[in-house]
Chains A and B, each alone.
Chain A
Amino acid sequence: MNPIIWLIPVLPLLSFVLLLLFGRRLKEASAVVGSLLTLGSLILSVVVFMGQWGGASVKQTAEWLAIGDTVLTVGYEINPLNALMLVIVSFVSFLIQVYSKGYMHDDDRFPVFFAYLGLFTFAMLGLVISPNLLQLYIFWELVGVGSFLLIGYYFYKSEAREAAKKAFIMTRIGDVGLFIGIILLFWQVGSFELDAIFDAVTAGDISQGWITLTAILIFVGAIGKSGQFPLHTWLPDAMEGPTPVSALIHAATMVAAGVYLVAAMFPLFEASEAALTTVAVVGGFTAIFAATIGLAQADIKRVLAYSTVSQLGYMMLALGSSGYVAGIFHLTTHAFFKALLFLAAGSVIHAVHTQNIHEMGGLWKKMKWTAPLFLIGAMAISGVPLLSGFFSKDEILAATYADGRFGLFWIAVIATFLTAFYMFRLFFLVFTGESQGKVKKVQESPGVMVFPMVVLGILAVIAGYINTPVTPILDDYLAQNPYLEIHHHESYWWIPIVATVVSLFGIFMAWLVYAKKKVKRLSEASPDFHFILLNKYFIDETYDYSFVKGTRGFSYFWYYIDRFVVEGVIQLVTGAVGWISKTSSKAHNGQVQLYGSVAFAGMAVLLLIVAWLGGYLT
């Protein structure tokens, strides 16, 4: 199976190139080209994934650069973790390309959209199979480029432009951390190869302080990409992109790259208690922080965006609590149900042409497919028993509890309640109650859009069964990694019960408030708090006044220094030279007599100098 692995990322790249070259001629057919090539990647990924059951990990590298004794390599590595990621990425990417054929059908730049999707899928798959940090970093940035292009797809809207820039800059802040981390690791280990780094860590070649520092710097990169606090603000704004993009990049795959990075570098993190604590605390805080903001947002996609931030926080919390499997498990299930939720939201937006949930309502009867599918997604993310989110969330709670972080455990439980509450607030406002009158004709989306949702809906239900306490398939599968020590904590019988009760209570509360209207809404019960939530804790404003304005003031200061001091000096110099040349050019008047006079005067001066130096004058 070796020769085909490199084809997995190359096929989407091929789609990108083909659509760039022939997109104008292919028009609507470009969706078919893109989908088929991604389907090719998916099939290959599944083959590779199958080969990983009990199979050893595969690594193939070729020399890229030799600098002195150091050899930089490129290549690919397949281990249980990234084989799973390959399947998730290519699978979601394929479904979303199918969906986009319906969603984007009347768009002018239809082929370009699919070309960008191809580029992004290429970058993401390349990121996943990178065997060394340098290659990973290159793809990491390429993924950022794909995200930038797709957020700014509606570039004629100024919000989309701003959001694209914001996403690029905010993630870049994290990338700098990652880059410094990579450089420091290279300095300490002398290699970019992941296994060389892990060997050095296990052998104790790196001091504890360095491990902690580099792990935290790498985590900074993950914070940026995965939208963790305090670099989360770009992710909700990224919803300005087309909805399929939000589903693919900003829910299922790219934002999970941060979680993947921490998971891939897990042996490094595991060697440092401080780094794990950082990951857990940031994750736990983000989980509850974003969940509260999700309570008050009015834009259907923004609620889902904050939900994504919150769920990514859960994954980080799991990883930080040594719950490696729990984190990956939740990443997998989340990819399915969150992509489903976004696609369903896209279907709703497609039908009603608004994103404001207060203008929707009563869509349950009008959208026979979308509504139940959205309900499945909402139930899965809320942790309703026997759906996928239930199992993965229990794993996370159990891992956190087993790790002895009781504070974070209770925060996660509260976040579970909030998750259930805001998801069903969304559900009740959009699908039940009265139609708000503004939207009259509502049509169910075409089959090409419903089909991916159905597939994802099925997975959102059953994906949880890959790792129940009874059938720990994923557990055994991931435990094949030789560098990992999977912690098997005892299972706590009461945690699923607590989680279930809490999430059902959340759903019940949402029903009381938004369907029955028995309890006052938050905006009436506590207007001040609602105002704060509506404005997302004023984080954007804080950044604007501190970093943006501060940087701008600082820049202006140096701008004026440059303008008047530096350029002043330069003007002086150029002015002086100009004056000298202008004056001396007057002597160039073409008259022999003046030239003769000057030559004579020059000779006289020379003679004087010679005479003076020779001592004839004294």
Chain B
Amino acid sequence: MSSVPLSVYLVLALILFCIGLFGALTKRNAVIVLISIELMLNAVNINLIAFAKYGINPSITGQIFSLFTITVAAAEAAVGLAILIALYRNRKTVNVDEMDIMKR
């Protein structure tokens, strides 16, 4: 097993997170925004796993924690999609630009 250094994992996680952030902040379609958020969560998961193996105190906790995160992310995606569908029924659109009732 060739050892891959920690920094590579972290850079990968960083890139994934940035793509997710960019998508979440710029995309007009709410579905894409949700997907981008999933991407950011997964970047976090990679960090957790990487530190579980190569951190200063390697332990199994990080892997278990990432399992939790995946579970929560699944629940969040389910709730998010439900909200999205409810919203679509009301507003006939999934365009984020048109969702500005916070201004009022």
For A600, list chain B residues within 8 Å (CB). 21, 25
CB distance from A143 to the nearest CB of B (A): 65
Residues of B close to A471: CB separation below 8 A: none
Number of interface residues of A (CB under 8 A): 9
How far, in angstroms, from A597 to B25 measured CA to CA in the complex? 6
Name the A residues within 8 Å of B21 (CB-CB): 600
**What residues of chain A lie closer than 8 Å to B97, measured between beta carbons?**
591
Contacts of B13 in A (CB 8 A): none
> Which one of A590, A593, A596 lies within 8 Å of B104 (CB-CB)?
A590
Interface centre among A588, A592, A597 (most CB of B within 10 A): A592
With A600-B21, A600-B25 known to touch, is A593 a contact of B103 (CB < 8 Å)?
Answer: no
Report the minimal beta-carbon distance from A299 to chain B, rounded to whole angstroms.
75
Check if B101 sits within 8 Å of A590, measured CB to CB: yes
Is B74 an interface position by the 8 A CB rule? no
* Bound Cα distance A600, B100 (Å): 19
Q: Does B102 contact A (CB under 8 A)?
A: yes
A590 and B96 CA atoms in complex are apart in Å by 11
Binary interface profile of A, 592-616, with partner B (CB < 8 Å = 1, else 0)?
1100110010000000000000000
In the docked arrangement, what's the CA distance between A590 and B102, Å?
5
Of the candidates A589, A590, A593, which one forms a contact with B25 in the assembled complex, judged by CB atoms under 8 Å apart?
Answer: A593
**In this assembly, does B99 line the interface, its C-beta being within 8 Å of a C-beta of chain A?**
yes
In contact, B101 and A591 (Cβ under 8 angstroms): no
B24 sits at the interface (CB 8 A): yes
Quick one: which of B24, B26, B33, B100 contacts A590, CB cutoff 8 A? B100
B contact residues, total (Cβ < 8 Å): 13
Q: Could you tell me the dominant secondary structure of chain A's interface residues?
A: helix
CB distance A596 to B25 under 8 Å?
yes
Residues in A with CB closer than 8 Å to B25 are 593, 596-597, 600
**Measured between C-beta atoms, what is the minimum distance from A601 to chain B in Å?**
10
Residues of A within 8 A of B102 (CB): 590-592
For the complex, what is the distance from the CA of A593 to the CA of B32, rounded to whole Å?
A: 13
Q: How far is the CA of A592 from the CA of B24 in the complex (A)?
A: 10
Scan residues 72-101 of chain B and give those whose CB is less than 8 A from a CB of chain A.
Answer: 96-97, 99-101
In the bound complex, do residue B99 and residue A591 qualify as a contact, i.e. CB atoms below 8 Å apart?
Answer: yes
> A596–B24 contact, CB under 8 A?
yes
In angstroms, Cα B97 to Cα A589, docked, is: 10
Complex contacts, A597 vs chain B, CB 8 Å: 25
A565 to nearest B CB, angstroms? 41
Residue of B21, B25, B33, B104 with most chain A CB atoms under a 10 A cut-off = B25
A591 to B103, CA, bound (A): 8
Asked whether, in the complex, the Cβ of B26 is within 8 Å of the Cβ of A591, the reply is no
Q: Among A590, A593, A600, which residue has the most Cβ atoms of chain B within 10 A?
A: A593
A593 and B100 form a contact (CB under 8 A): no
Is B24 a contact partner of A591 (Cβ separation < 8 A)? no
Question: Known contacts A593-B96, A600-B21: does B103 contact A588 (CB below 8 Å)?
Answer: yes
Cβ–Cβ < 8 Å partners of B103 in chain A: 588-590
A-contact 0/1 string along B17-43, CB 8 Å cutoff:
000010011100000010000000000
- Assembly CA distance A597 to B22 (angstroms): 9
Write 27 A-B pairs (CB below 8 A) sorted by A numbering: A588-B103, A589-B100, A589-B103, A590-B99, A590-B100, A590-B101, A590-B102, A590-B103, A590-B104, A591-B96, A591-B97, A591-B99, A591-B100, A591-B102, A592-B96, A592-B99, A592-B102, A593-B24, A593-B25, A593-B26, A593-B33, A593-B96, A596-B24, A596-B25, A597-B25, A600-B21, A600-B25
8 other A-B residue contacts (CB within 8 Å) besides A590-B101, A593-B24: A588-B103, A590-B100, A590-B103, A592-B99, A593-B25, A593-B33, A593-B96, A600-B25
